[in-house]
Amino acid sequence: MLIDYDVVRSNRKTIEISVERDANILVKVPYELADEAIEKQVHKKRLWIWEKLAIKKSYQSDIEHKKFVSGESFLYLGRNYRLELCEEVEGLKLKNGWFVLGKKQHSNAKEIFKAWYSEHLRRKLQQRLKIFEKNYGLGVLDFRVLELGYRWGSCSKDGTLNFNWKIAMAPLGVVDYIIAHEIAHLKESAHSEKFWKEVQRLMPNYLEKKEWLKQNGHELFI
């Protein structure tokens, strides 16, 4: 399991590793410390990090999940839509400002929602990635929509970008930030200063979207 982390450089003499409330791993280091030394220290502390992440995951499992009943609200691209159960409908549709789910599928509602989010995110990613490819002279970017637990995205060794289906619930600007974040990993594997400069090149206002995700990411669930 690769460990994804953010590096914060400051005028300090020691390394400090912490697991934040949103399961983000923060590594505070001296200005002059090389990226290789940071990677080595994170690897050394990997068992401690995995233990902390497991605790965070157990907390997430205690979240009161959505109830698939008429009137419950569900996010899509940052907007809330209420659910209506309907006898005449097959599957799940977004229609006239409502999520409409066939009553016959109610028992499998969570998986139906997950499949709906995954498919609609896949379409949206195709559109957004083409914009990044055109604007920044990138080659065709391969991607997958997966179940990634508490991670919003990742970048495989073969250059494939992986995205959590749950980000379909986030505002489009936040989706773009996650895309820029993973594209930047194609050049820089670690969250180094060079990495964040690349993210900023791809998305100048990324800090605003990163903060939104930190503050609201816990709401992206069903």
Q: Which amino acid is at 29?
A: V
Residue 179 and residue 129 in contact, taking contact as beta carbons nearer than 8 Å: yes
Question: What local confidence, expressed as pLDDT, does residue 168 receive?
Answer: 98
Model confidence pLDDT, tens digit, residues 75-126: 999 999 999 999 888 899 999 999 999 999 899 999 999 999 999 999 999 9
Residue 5 and residue 42 in contact, taking contact as beta carbons nearer than 8 Å: yes
Model confidence pLDDT, tens digit, residues 35-82: 899 999 998 998 898 888 887 666 555 556 789 999 999 999 999 999
- Does 191 or 30 have the greater pLDDT score? 30
Question: What local confidence, expressed as pLDDT, does residue 10 receive?
Answer: 85
Question: What local confidence, expressed as pLDDT, does residue 142 receive?
Answer: 95
Of the listed ranges 12-16, 73-77, 170-174, the one predicted with least confidence: 12-16
If one counts every other C-beta atom within 10 angstroms of the C-beta of residue 64, the result is 6
Question: What local confidence, expressed as pLDDT, does residue 62 receive?
Answer: 53
- Does 150 or 147 have the greater pLDDT score? 147
Across the range 1-19, mean pLDDT stands at: 83
Residue 178 and residue 124 in contact, taking contact as beta carbons nearer than 8 Å: no
Parse the chain into domains and list their residue ranges.
5-61, 73-219
Q: What is the dihedral of CA 22, 67, 176, 118, to 10 degrees?
A: 120
Fold of 73-219: Zincin-like (3.30.2010)
pTM of the entire predicted model: 0.77
CA–CA separation, 166 and 222 (whole Å) = 9
Q: Is the pLDDT of residue 1 over 60?
A: no
Question: What local confidence, expressed as pLDDT, does residue 222 receive?
Answer: 87
Q: Is the pLDDT of residue 195 over 80?
A: yes
**All residues at 6 or more sequence positions from 214 whose CB lies less than 8 Å from its CB, including other chains:** 20, 22, 24
Structure tokens that stand for 195 in this block: 């990495």
- Mean pLDDT score of the chain, rounded to an integer? 89
CA–CA separation, 125 and 112 (whole Å) = 20
Question: What local confidence, expressed as pLDDT, does residue 116 receive?
Answer: 98
